[in-house]
Amino acid sequence: MDLLLGVALVLGVMILVHEWGHFIAARIFGVRVDVFSIGFGPRLFGWKRGATDYRVSALPLGGYVRMAGQDPSEIDSLKSTALPGNARDEKTYATYPQVQALVKGPAEVVRAAAKDELVNKPRWQRAIISFAGPLVNLVFPILLLTVYFVAIGIPYPAYQDKPVQVTALPANSPAAAAGLRSGDTIVALDGDKNPDWEQAEKTITKLTPSSKLSMEVEEAGTRRSINVPVEQKDLDQPERLLGFAPIRPVLEDVAPGYPAQRAGLKENDLIQAVDGQPIQWWGQFTERVRGSNGKAVALDVDRKGQLLHLVVTPQAATNEHGETIYQIGVQVHDDTAYKRVAFPEGARYATLVTVEKIKETAGIVGKLFSGRVSLKQLQGPVGISRAAGQAAKKGPLAIISLMVLISVNLGILNLLPIPILDGGHILLLGIEGLLRRDMSLAFKERFVQVGLVFLLVVFAIVMYNDVVRLLPIHS
């Protein structure tokens, strides 16, 4: 039930929002919309207003818009196949100009179309109609997040409110070498008095390589000053400067097909020791996994009060810098707090989050085409459905976060200049605009067929990887 609800809410709503963008733009430019459907498949019920049949269909996994003249072969004025008279009779041509247009050739077809059909609209209007769907997908997250932030608050890790008390430090960290110790409380950081974790992490983002981080720490009533040299690696891993964040090593998600699942790890497991060494914090766990060099790691796990001994072998992956890292496919549970904000602040933060997500998604797409990211890392319908089901279990924040991710992905991917996608339609209209003539119907059909074959191949690869991840033999 959670799976069906999650898929309907996340994937279904985002596709429907995409189609709504096309619908609104089409109506603005006077294009007749024959059908606006919530869902796919057989019509269950609905109503007709004007020329549009607003319907609810059997499969609530999105929706679609059917515009008049969307398919040049289905232009209203060209549909009749039972015309009176002789189709070769010159007098018949005069009586039925649409037939005359057919005989004259494809250049005249547009003139025969009804004024409210898509094919009879200027190219720039058709391009805007195609662009409107992805645009709404990119704007909708701002609206969704704004409502959530104003109504509930801006979520943030609960530990960020707390003073910076050093928990434990990574091995060979510059902070440890400079004299920072477990149990120290940072009372000043680069001039900021009594910083909490949020302020401290913001301070780290402002540093530059080869600079120094000055701090004043207190332990057992004794204060001392420390200067920590900063390198690029330290900026990527703030725990090397501040110690591990106070996040307990409790698993929130175990990805299918990854080493953690194969080893038997499950959600809500508490990691107590790695290779016999007790740990308290999530950062200690990730440090041991990343430093394993792919060798098997022994884990002591607390599962609902029962102590388990498991062995997991991390697998190699590549990070955004092209460096090899090791991972097992788990996500930590992080307690969340909420900061209440007014509408302007909620809208501003929602915009920042959405823009960052757009940049991140566009970057991944670019890496896909350059070969720096493998298709194996993409999630297909199976993976998305699983994520949607898990989000439905976790609650509103998880659902909204996934809706934002899916919406941005739909917006970016549909703008790619691939035939059959919105970006492909815009590309074709641009080519026609430069040539100042319409391409032949045969060319357009081949154009669409190329895009369809390409997308089917990508879909098959992603689906294969989705299924393989679920198999216990996957390694």
DSSP state of 1: -
pLDDT score at 21: 94
Tokens standing for residue 333: 């549970």
The secondary structure element, H or E, covering residue 188 is strand 185-189
Average pLDDT rounded to a whole number, residues 447-471: 82
b/e map 99-122, b = 16+ CB within 10 Å: bebbeeeeeebbebbeebbbbbbe
Between CA 388 and CA 20 the distance in angstroms is: 22
The reported pLDDT for the residue numbered 171 is 83
Distance linking the first and last C-alpha atoms of the chain: 30
Q: Is the pLDDT of residue 475 over 60?
A: no
b/e burial code for range 413-423 (CB count within 10 A of at least 16 → b): bbbeebbbbbb
* Distance of alpha carbon 387 from alpha carbon 379, whole angstroms: 9
Q: Where does the pLDDT of residue 412 fall: very low under 50, low under 70, confident under 90, or very high at 90 and above?
A: very high
- CA 20 to mean position of chain CA atoms: 19
The DSSP bridge partners found for residue 317 are 325
pLDDT, position 30: 92
From 160, 158, 159, 143, select the one nearest 400 (Cα to Cα): 143
**What average pLDDT does range 409-431 have in this prediction?**
91
What is the average pLDDT score of the chain? Answer: 84
Average pLDDT value for residue range 343-354:
96
Q: How many CB atoms lie within 10 A of CB 314?
A: 23
Least confident window among 47-56, 81-90, 270-279? 81-90
Q: Is the pLDDT of residue 399 over 50?
A: yes
Residue with the larger pLDDT of the pair 393 and 238: 238
What's the pLDDT band for 352 if we cut at 50, 70, 90?
very high
Question: What is the mean pLDDT of the segment spanning 354-373?
Answer: 86
Judged by average pLDDT, the poorest of 41-55, 213-227, 286-300, 374-388 is 374-388
Dist CA 354 CA 374 (whole Å) = 24
Residue 459 has pLDDT above 70, yes or no: yes
Among 331, 186, 305, 135, smallest CA distance to 252 is for 331
User: Could you tell me the pLDDT band of residue 212, with boundaries at 50, 70 and 90?
Assistant: very high
Annotate 148-167 with DSSP letters as a single string: HHHHT-EEEEGGGGSB-B--
Query: For position 79, what pLDDT does the model report?
Result: 44
**pTM beyond 0.75:** yes
What's the confidence (pLDDT) of residue 73? Answer: 55
What are the angstrom distances between the C-alpha of 61 and each of 79, 131, 196, 242, 462?
A: 31, 22, 44, 46, 19
Q: Could you tell me the two tokens for 275? A: 């290779």
| Mean pLDDT (whole number) for 143-158 | 95
Q: What is the pLDDT of residue 309?
A: 94
Angstrom distance (rounded) from CA 415 to CA 203 = 37
pLDDT in tens, 64-115: 899 988 765 555 444 443 344 444 343 333 333 333 333 334 444 444 457 8
Give percent of the chain with pLDDT exceeding 70. Answer: 85
Q: Are 72 and 102 in contact (CB under 8 A)?
A: no
pLDDT at position 203 over 80: yes
Distant-in-sequence contacts of 455-458, Cβ < 8 A, 24+ apart = 455/418, 455/420, 455/421, 458/375
